[in-house]
Amino acid sequence: MRVTVRKRKANYQEIVINEPTVEDMIKAEKMSDGDRSFEFAVCLLSIIAEFDGQKLPPEEIKKLPASVFLEISRSFMELGLTELGEQLSSSQNQQAGD
């Protein structure tokens, strides 16, 4: 048996993540209907991240390759937002297991 994995590429040169404010986190929680897992992380990224200088809606962020999402979660950990970074990573692992 042969298994081939095709990596998807992100079509962005630069992703800038601004440190979230409490207000950003509350807004993301409302957008995600109080879901504090994958949906929350996606909504928060739609508020605080810029992809080549543009904000993306949650629907577009969901289309990012998993490898890009994992790198973003590492960036959250570097900002001192370890819990959120771990949440992103575990959400990604849960999605991969589905």
Ordered mean pLDDT values, 10 residues apiece, the chain (98 residues): 86 90 92 80 93 96 89 77 62 50
pLDDT of residue 74: 81
* 3 within some domain: no
For residues 36 and 62, is the Cβ–Cβ distance under 8 A? Answer: no
Q: Is 52 left (phi over 0), alpha (psi -120 to 50) or beta?
A: left
- Domain range for 39: 21-97
Total-model pTM: 0.73
Residue 91 lies in a domain: yes
Number of separate domains in the chain: 1
- The 8 Å CB, 24+ separation contacts for 23-27 are 24/48
Q: Is residue 84 part of a domain?
A: yes
- Positive or negative: CA dihedral 47, 55, 65, 58: positive
